[in-house]
Amino acid sequence: MHSIPKPLALVLCYPSNPTAHVADLDFYRDVVAFASKHDSIVLSDLAYSEIYFDDVPPPSMLQVPGAIDVAVEFTSMSKTYSMAGWRMGFAVGNERLIAALSRVKSYLDYGAYTPIQVAATTALNGPQDCIEEMRQIYKHRRDVAGRQLRPRRLADPGAARQHVRLGADSRAFKALGSLEFSKLLIEKADVAVAPGVGFGEHGDDYVRIALVENEQRIRQAARNVRRFLETADKTLHNVVPISSARR
């Protein structure tokens, strides 16, 4: 380890937001070994664990022997059960770390509104058909968006295997950056996207396209984007496919 001072914790997010990269068990084994060797803890964000489209669920870090000694894993009801805004989730893992988290939580806030807790319990213990239905809805929307934008080489539906958004490469507007490109889409195409720079400097070549709208609105947004690009500067032929947005 070459960090000074030594880090107390590693924070992981797989399936990753925003890239949708998925870690395998070999990666988690290496993380557990590293944390054990350097006396660090691991905070694993598993919020997107149920959003996958290839019939292979993303693994949990806690499947790795020894992970329980160094790690806590978090997940959220927001993604799995569409409870966004309810601020409901849970953590599992190392007993000492969970106890510390509970103590801090008791100082900072109160328990969630009881009906929300009851709803979350019902969702977890009830039939899980709704999750598969959600996956199929997002998969279909992903495919629709990919087909609509692929002629402009802005999206590859095969790349977005894991998550509910596609990433569009905006290198044709690299001099502008993703923020200015996003402003152009609002002004010229009536479409709002998330500029990639909001996720860090390495995201500035990309914008993020949400798939939370219905199919009709996704098609309309894609048509608006294509129409704008068709009337824009001829240098747009340099736009290249996305390379990293798998989920």
166 vs 25, higher pLDDT? 25
CATH number at residue 87: 3.40.640.10
Domain boundary among 82, 106, 125: 125
How many distinct structural domains can be found in the chain?
A: 2
DSSP per-residue letters across 134-191: HHHHHHHHHHHHHHHHGGGT---TTT--SSSEEEEE-GGGTTTHHHHHHHHHHHHH--
Residues contacting residue 216 through CB under 8 Å, at least 6 positions apart: none
Q: Strand, helix or coil at 92?
A: strand
**Identity of the amino acid at 53:** F
Instruction: Give yes or no for a contact between 112 and 86, defined as CB atoms under 8 angstroms apart.
Output: yes
Looking at per-residue pLDDT, the higher value among 126 and 164 belongs to 126
pLDDT band at 201 (very low <50, low <70, confident <90, very high): confident
Alpha carbons 217 and 164: distance in angstroms, whole number: 15
- % of the chain residues with pLDDT over 70: 83
Dihedral, 198, 170, 209, 21 alpha carbons, nearest 10: -70
Closest to 228 measured CA to CA, from 195, 189, 194, 192? 189
Residues 141 and 90 in one domain: no
Domain C-terminal end among 93, 125, 157: 125
Q: Do 50 and 115 sit in the same domain of this protein?
A: yes
Cβ-based neighbours of 60, under 8 Å, separated by 6 or more: 44, 46, 49, 73
Specify if 100 maps to a domain.
Answer: yes
Same domain, 111 and 141: no
User: Over the stretch 74-96, which tens digit does the pLDDT of each residue have?
Assistant: 999 998 999 988 989 999 999 99
The whole-chain average pLDDT of the chain stands at 83
In this structure, are 115 and 135 located in the same domain? no
For residue 134, which amino acid is it? M
Tell me the CA distances in angstroms from 225 to 149, 183, 187, 209, 220, one per residue in order. Answer: 8, 12, 11, 11, 9
Domain that holds residue 200: 130-238
Same-domain status, 120 and 168: no
Give the model's pLDDT for residue 159.
44
* Per-residue burial over 39-64, b = 16 or more CB atoms within 10 Å of its CB, e = otherwise: ebbbbbbbbbbbbbbeeeebbbbbeb
Give the pLDDT confidence score for residue 2 in this predicted structure: 61
Tell me whether residue 4 is in a domain. no
Q: Of the ranges 13-27, 205-219, 221-235, which one carries the lowest mean pLDDT score?
A: 221-235
pLDDT in tens, 102-126: 998 888 887 788 999 999 999 999 9
What is the token pair recorded at 191?
Answer: 């479409």
